[in-house]
Amino acid sequence: MDAEEIIESIIRAFMFLAGVLGNNWLVIRSLPGQISGFRTNEVLLINLAISNLITNYLVDLPDTIADFTGRWFLGETYCAVFRFCADLSETSSIYTTFFISMFWHQKLVGSLKRGGAPVQLDSLRLIGCLLAGSWTVAMAFSIPHFFFVTVQATNDSEEDCVDLYPNALASQIYDIFYLTLANALPMAGILFVSVQIVVTLLRNQRRIQSHSSGAAKKEPKEKMSTADRSCDKSAGTSGPSTLKDPKETASLTVYNGTSCPPGQSSNSSSLSREPNVDTKAEAPAHSKVSAKPSSSSQVRAAKSVVAVASVFLVSWLTHILLRITNNFHTSSLVVEVASYVAASYTCIIPFIFLHGVKKLTCSCKR
């Protein structure tokens, strides 16, 4: 092999290792402690990782070895398995990414607009039906590869595993249906859902900023009025007529513009005299603080979905354009670039999802 082929093989090997590491880690970190602890998000992430691992082990690994050896050494039988697994995992991964985007869009809208109300995709039965349907569609588009594949010699006397349809019309019909149903439609759905997530996040950020600015303006006035009321009460109940010692009367001085004693603050006076009011005021504040972490984690996960959708759209739009181009002008270089683009997606998104759900690092506490 020349220097260019060695560099390409090394890049392919690096992408294979990154995909295997990321997707296996995604499966391990998504598994709950008990079977009853499975939730929608974990099921979707595990299904996505399994789809990508099919690509890593049964597509990327043989392709990487074939790059180093310079020929297809696994025979025509595995050539059919190779092409079958490539489209099967690709279609399943695309649909699973679409389901994940839909799920987190519903969770985000439910958390910010409906007070965290349950969403439709929280149902494991519904998710199971959707995933079964996606695997069925992926299987339907992958089965033809068992009948129309061959090991073909290229111009450089190298063997490669390619599809060989009876005629060009059959190849174009298959590609039209495959690219439309298994690529274009879910990609359009991911784009639409991602835009909705971004709009919801921006609206929520503006709402938080408006509330914080309004609260900052009201806070000084509320503090002053509370201090005045509490000090008026303390002055009314502990006047000179109630003090027996003249020294105690002398110790009642003006402190920070009020008539409160130096050792007693307005907050402690109000707490001692009106406990019912303060406990009612503290309860909503405590509930807001306890609800904040779950909301922030959902926003973080939604942002990771938008990041994955961005990588997905760039990768698969390029992949589709290259496949369409290959129908009009067959080129081994175009096929090679398309395979690299598809492999880059499977090795990047596991780490983005792990970061989004805060499972990129392992902690000893479960």
Domain CATH for 339: 1.20.1070.10
Cα dihedral: 61, 65, 68, 74 (round 10): -150
Predicted pLDDT of residue 110: 65
| Domain of residue 89, residue span | 3-206+292-313+331-356
Distance (Å, whole) CA 44 – CA 41: 5
- What is the token pair recorded at 303? 């942002």
Predicted pLDDT of residue 157: 59
Q: Is 285 within a domain?
A: no
List per-residue pLDDT tens for the chain, 366 residues long.
567 777 777 888 888 899 999 999 999 988 887 777 788 888 999 999 999 999 899 988 888 888 777 777 788 888 889 889 988 998 999 999 999 989 888 887 766 666 666 778 888 999 999 999 999 999 999 998 888 888 877 655 567 787 888 888 888 888 889 888 988 898 899 889 888 888 888 887 787 778 777 777 766 555 555 555 554 544 444 444 444 444 444 443 444 444 444 444 444 333 333 444 344 344 444 434 334 445 677 677 777 788 887 887 777 777 677 767 766 666 666 666 766 776 778 888 888 888 877 776 765 444
Could you give the 3-state DSSP secondary structure of residue 159? strand
Q: Is 242 within a domain?
A: no
Q: Is 106 within a domain?
A: yes
Predicted pLDDT of residue 11: 83
Q: To 5 degrees, how large is the angle CA 133–CA 134–CA 140?
A: 90
What is the count of structural domains for the chain? Answer: 1
Q: Is 257 within a domain?
A: no
Distance (Å, whole) CA 206 – CA 329: 50
Distance (Å, whole) CA 194 – CA 187: 10
Q: Is 110 within a domain?
A: yes
Q: Is 267 within a domain?
A: no
Entry pTM: 0.71
Q: Is 308 within a domain?
A: yes
Buried residues in 207-240 as b, exposed as e (16+ CB within 10 A): eeeeeeeeeeeeeeeeeeeebeebbeebeeebee
Distance (Å, whole) CA 8 – CA 19: 16
Predicted pLDDT of residue 233: 47
Q: Is 82 within a domain?
A: yes
**DSSP 8-state class, residue 153:** E
Could you give the 3-state DSSP secondary structure of residue 285? helix
